[in-house]
């Protein structure tokens, strides 16, 4: 899991903390080969990874609601490389 704690001293955008646990999806890539694992089902692609990531995440997008905070659930991620 991960905890993202806002350090901004602003009433509008600095008042949220986010806790993420047990991912339901994982996106991995190396070169043009990428894997998108959603609910334990693996999808393999040989395209530009950032474009494929955009498409994969867009399919999961929830509609926004002006009565709720900016993020009430959805995708949170991080990138790493070696």
Neighbours of 63 (CB within 10 A): 4
Q: How do residues 4-22 score in pLDDT, each as one tens digit? A: 777 767 666 666 777 778 8
DSSP 3: E
pTM over 0.75: no
pLDDT at 13: 61
Contacts of 81 (CB under 8 A, 6+ apart): none
pLDDT at 48: 94
**Looking at the DSSP assignment, which residues form a beta bridge with residue 27?**
36
Q: How do residues 12-54 score in pLDDT, each as one tens digit? A: 666 677 777 888 888 999 999 999 999 889 999 999 999 999 9
Average of pLDDT values for 69-80? 70
Average of pLDDT values for 56-74? 79
């Amino acid at each position: 899991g991960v905890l993202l704690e806002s350090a901004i001293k602003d009433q509008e955008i600095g008042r949220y903390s986010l806790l993420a646990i047990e991912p339901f999806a994982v996106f991995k890539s190396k070169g043009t080969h990428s894997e998108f694992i959603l609910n334990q089902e693996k999808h393999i692609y040989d395209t530009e990874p950032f474009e494929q990531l955009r498409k994969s995440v867009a399919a999961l997008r929830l509609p926004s609601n002006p009565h709720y905070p900016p993020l009430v659930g959805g995708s949170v991620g991080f990138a790493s490389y070696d």
